[in-house]
Amino acid sequence: MRNVHDTGKVDFPGLPDRPDWPDWPDWEVGRIDFQDQALIPIWEKVLQNRRLDREDGVAILNTWDVVALGRMADHVKRTKSGDYVYFVINRQLNPTNVCVLDCKFCDFAAKPKDPHAYEMSMDEVLSRCSDELSEVHIVGGLHPTWPFEKYLDIQRAIHEAHPKIQIKAWTAVEIDWFAQIADLSIEEVLGKLREAGLSSMPGGGAEVFSARVRNELFKRKIGEERWFEVHRIAHRMGIPSNATLLYGHIETYEERVDHMLKLREQQDQAPGFLSFIPLAFQPGHTGIVDRQVSAIEDLRTVACARLLLDNFPHIKSYWIMLGEETASVALNFGANDLDGTIGEERIAHAALAKSPVGVARDRLVDMITEAGKVPVERDALYQVIRVYN
């Protein structure tokens, strides 16, 4: 099946000496100089379009051969979207940080009498929106006294004032909360939100699908079963969503891989996920870990996601949490989306994220072109608005 030379280079029979496409390097047609031999059988699976398993995922996260790993992941990314890398002109809106939960990893949430607690007025909400935006991304705390109608009013106000903006709103945790406070089913909640302008859902609240980690860090938040149920119902109703992983805290590599494989299985059974977003944990003042994981760890996780999640069209390099430099490099490690201009983001920055609070369109275009990729402006549903040649 393969010939392994002393250098670690692998030649696969049937591959041409020179590709038909100009300027494509050798590794694009099956040749990579592997320093970590454990990656060779994984690369063989990739070229044969065979699905990777748990053991493969753990090997990927353990490898020190990040150059070879990046080439493997970039190859898969190219088969899905060529050199296109997407971004959106958007703003994140966090109407309140008042929350009934007390997750140990969260520096954003507040109790009603905390000095940093806030509730945005409708005028403040609308002041954050403009017709220049393609997407508004709404998430916040589970407010103890706001009725479901309050959240609907926020959506309606934005949708009526700016009907062209696509509203991506409310995590599965929030959808579950709405169902509780309004005594409605998930289907009824999503139906009312869609009538108020909802076009898609973000993927937050998943954290990591591990009962051990949940019990330690976010015991009162919904677990994987309910999270999957909410997204499964949304997909059935024609509401697409994203999925996330919060990594770099107390989870193991095995738990990180299991999380991705559970998402892959859900996508097989109930397709509707648009993208997967690995979220690097921001230690902030939580005391859970001393520092954020390294850039190498970030790149391994992005590459692992691209290689394992073969049924996900998009992998995000979320610059808010990765930082601009690492996010740009990750575009050569399997990611094909930078998210967007954000405008204002409170959750990661409450945890002392070091990225800029907002990045303009030109800077995102620069980050993508610096990575040797083609910038593509999109909307919330990945419909192309403009290709920057």
One digit per residue, the tens of pLDDT, for the chain of length 389 reads 333 333 344 433 333 333 343 344 444 445 789 999 999 999 999 999 999 999 999 999 999 999 999 999 999 999 999 999 999 999 999 999 898 877 666 666 778 888 889 999 999 999 989 888 999 999 998 999 999 999 999 999 999 999 999 999 999 999 999 999 999 999 999 999 999 999 999 998 888 999 999 888 888 889 999 999 999 999 999 999 999 999 998 899 999 999 999 999 999 999 999 999 999 887 655 566 666 789 999 999 999 999 999 999 999 999 888 888 999 999 999 999 999 886 554 434 343 444 443 467 888 999 999 999 999 999 999 999 999 97
Half-sphere exposure (Cβ direction) of 258: Cα atoms closer than 13 Å? 13
- The label of the residue with tokens 């966090």 reads 94
Same structural domain, 354 and 290: yes
Same structural domain, 97 and 74: no
Same structural domain, 209 and 73: no
Same structural domain, 73 and 102: no
d(CA 260, CA 315): 12
pLDDT of residue 19: 37
- State how far the alpha carbon of 350 is from the alpha carbons of 138, 204, 213, 293, in Å: 16, 16, 22, 18
pLDDT of residue 152: 97
| Predicted structure pTM score | 0.87
Cite the DSSP H helix spans in 323-375: 324-329, 347-350, 361-370
Same structural domain, 75 and 199: no
Q: Of 31, 58, 80, which one is at a domain's C-terminal end?
A: 80
Q: Of 80, 105, 140, which one is at a domain's C-terminal end?
A: 80
CATH number of the domain where residue 109 is located: 3.20.20.70
Q: Of 80, 109, 131, which one is at a domain's C-terminal end?
A: 80
- The label of the residue with tokens 């859900």 reads 266
Strand ordering across the sheet containing 273-280: 241-247, 273-280, 314-315
To the nearest 10°, report the CA torsion of 196, 197, 199, 204.
Answer: -60
- Ramachandran region of residue 198, left (φ > 0), alpha (ψ -120 to 50) or beta? beta
- Which domain, by its residues, includes 22? 3-80
Same structural domain, 195 and 318: yes
Same structural domain, 181 and 297: yes
Q: Could you tell me which of 292, 365, 302 has the C-alpha nearest to residue 330?
A: 302
d(CA 52, CA 131): 43
Query: Is 229:175 a contact under the CB 8 Å cutoff?
Result: no
Same structural domain, 16 and 156: no
d(CA 49, CA 69): 17
Same structural domain, 42 and 160: no
How many structural domains comprise the chain? Answer: 2
Same structural domain, 108 and 50: no
Same structural domain, 75 and 120: no
Query: Is 191:237 a contact under the CB 8 Å cutoff?
Result: yes
Same structural domain, 227 and 340: yes
- State how far the alpha carbon of 289 is from the alpha carbons of 55, 115, 350, in Å: 26, 25, 16
Tokens of 143: 């407010």
Give the SS3 label for residue 110: strand
Give the SS3 label for residue 58: helix
H/E segment holding residue 81: helix 66-81
pLDDT of residue 113: 84
